[in-house]
Amino acid sequence: MRNVFIAIIFFSFFLVFEIGASSAESELSTDLMQSIEDTNKSLASNVATKDAKAATADAKELTQMFAQVETFFVQKGDAKDAVDLAKKSKDLTIAIVDSVAQNNFEAATDSATTLARTCRTCHTFYKKE
């Protein structure tokens, strides 16, 4: 009987823990989104000042973060537009890395501007104030 009681307590604890974890994962991390915003601002500044090393580092970091956003919305389901916007953002950051590597800061600026617009588009539909 004691083992059954322990099993019930363990199962209850596990169930409560899982419900809490699931609800915590149902939204994108505020820290991640703030990091994206801050890094995107840094990227724009670094592209404008033609700091290739810093712009490349920012763009690569954003590529990884947008991959996380894409994964989140794929797993969430029923958010095709968000998945597409995350993919587009990721592709734009890859294009920025390529443009900077070719010392083509005009193209990098165009991609960075489009990236900012893409972020705003996603926020219009998905950001909770």
In this model, does residue 17 exceed pLDDT 50? no
Q: What is the pLDDT of residues 86-116, one digit of tens each?
A: 999 999 999 999 999 999 999 999 999 999 9
In this model, does residue 5 exceed pLDDT 50? no
Q: Compute the mean pLDDT over every residue in the chain, rounded to the nearest whole number.
A: 84
In this model, does residue 2 exceed pLDDT 60? no
Q: What does the pLDDT read at residue 1?
A: 56
Q: What is the pLDDT of residues 30-43, one digit of tens each?
A: 899 999 999 999 99
Q: What does the pLDDT read at residue 27?
A: 77
In this model, does residue 16 exceed pLDDT 70? no
In this model, does residue 23 exceed pLDDT 70? no
Q: Mark residue 103 as left, alpha or beta (left: phi above 0; alpha: psi -120 to 50; beta: remaining).
A: left
The correct answer on CATH 3.40.50 for the domain covering 29-126 is: no
* Residue 47 structure tokens: 């592209």
Which three-class secondary structure state does DSSP give residue 106? helix
In this model, does residue 26 exceed pLDDT 70? no
Q: Domain residues of the chain, as ranges?
A: 29-126
Q: How far apart are CA 98 and CA 49, in angstroms?
A: 17
In this model, does residue 66 exceed pLDDT 80? yes
Long-range Cβ pairs for the range 88-92 (8 Å, 24+): 88/118, 89/62, 89/115, 89/118, 89/119, 89/122, 90/63, 90/66, 92/118
